[in-house]
Amino acid sequence: MNANFVIMGLPASGKTTFLAALWHIIEADETACRLKLGRYEGDVTYLNAIAQAWRTFNKVPRTSQFGDVDIAIHLIDTETRVNGRAFFPDLAGETFDAQVESRRCRRLFIKNVEADDGVLLFISVDSKQDSLSIVELNSMMPPGVEDVIVTTAGSGAPASGDGSGNGPPPAAGQKPAAPGLDEWEPKKVPGQVRIVQLLSDLFRPPFAPRRRRLAVILSAWDLVKSTQSSPEQWLAANMPLVAQFLRTNGEFFTSRVYGVSAQGVSLDDSEAVDLAAKLIPSHRISIVGPTESNHDITAPLVWLMSVP
C-alpha cells in the first residue's frame, strides 16, 4: 500500500520548522521513530540547511530565501511496511494566501491533491488576533469608531454627501463613517476564515471532492502547554469556526488534532535554549495527540498512513 498526503497551512503556521525537525529525526536515528526515510524529491541543500538551523537554535530560514521550494519525502513504516509520500508545496505559505485572496492555485498543487490520501493542516497557536473577543477588537479601533455605522466609505474617505466623500448622506439618526477607515479587501480575511476556505475548496473543482484523512497540527504547542488543554479543547476554544467546520463536515474529513512543539523552546528565551541544548536534539520535540505524548514527530504521518 502507498499513501500520499499534502501539507497545507498559512504563512508562519509552522510547516518549515516541522519539516526541519522531521528531516532531522528520520536521518539521525537517535530516538524512537516509527518512520524511516525511503527517498526524497527536491533540494537536499534546502533540507540540510533548515535542519542545521533547527539543531543549532537558529531561526529556520523561510522558503522565500531559497526561492520556490517543493519538497516530497518518501517514508516507510517500519512496522507495517506501508510507504508514504508527504508533499510540502511552497513552504512560505503565500500560495495558500493567494488561493484565498485571488481564488487561484498552482497546477502542481492540484496534481498532488488529486493523488492524496490525506492532508496535514498546520495552524499556529500563536495566532493572537484570531482569538480576540469582540470587546477586545473594539478596544483596538480608533476612538469613536465602534459607535459609527459605516455606509459606503472608500479609500478612507468619510461616507457623506457633502462633497467630502463618495457615499450618500447619512440617514436620520445615523452618524457618518469616521475618517481613516479603509474599504474591506481580501487581505483582511481572518485566519480562521482562510483555513475554512482552504478546506472547503477541496469539496469543489478543480479538486475532486471525496472523504479525506485530516491531521490538524497545532504548532508552537509549548506556548499553551501550561493551560492543560488538550489539542481538541484548544481548537474548540480558540478557533471555534474551524472546530465547528470539522464537526459538521464528517462526510469529507476524518480528522485528528495534534499539539506539536517542533522547536521545543522559544528562541527568544536564552535560559530555556541553554537547557534544551543539553538534550538530545530529537528530545526537544514534543507531540501530544489523541493516543500519544512523546518525541516522535512522525506520529501524525503514521496515523495518515495507517487509516484504510
DSSP 204-264: STTS----EEEEEEEE-GGGTGGG---HHHHHHHH-HHHHHHHHTTTTTEEEEEEEEESS-
Residue 159 has pLDDT above 50, yes or no: no
Name the most confidently modeled range: 27-31, 74-78, 133-137. 74-78
Whether pTM exceeds 0.85: no
Q: What value does the mean pLDDT take over residues 130-145?
A: 58
- Which pLDDT tens digit goes with each residue over 20-69? 999 999 888 787 788 999 998 888 888 899 999 999 999 887 655 555 67
The closest of 33, 49, 40 to 70, measured between CA atoms, is 40
- Which pLDDT tens digit goes with each residue over 95-133? 888 889 988 888 888 888 888 778 999 999 987 656 555
Q: What value does the mean pLDDT take over residues 3-21?
A: 89
| The residue to which cell 520535540 is assigned | 285
Predicted pLDDT at 141:
60
CATH of domain 2-131+191-306: 3.40.50.300
- Which pLDDT tens digit goes with each residue over 267-297? 888 999 999 899 888 899 999 998 877 888 9
Predicted pLDDT at 148:
42
Predicted pLDDT at 21:
93
Predicted pLDDT at 253:
93
* 1 Cβ neighbours under 8 A, 6+ residues apart: 82, 83
Give backbone dihedrals phi and psi of 108, rounded to 5 degrees, phi first: -65, -40
pLDDT band for position 154 (cuts 50, 70, 90): very low
Residue 234 has pLDDT above 90, yes or no: yes
- Which pLDDT tens digit goes with each residue over 160-176? 444 444 555 555 555 55
For CA atoms 99, 9, 7, 123, give the dihedral sign: negative
- Which pLDDT tens digit goes with each residue over 182-219? 788 888 888 999 999 999 999 989 998 889 999 999 99
Domain extent listing, the chain: 2-131+191-306
DSSP, collapsed to helix, strand or coil, labels residue 112 as: helix
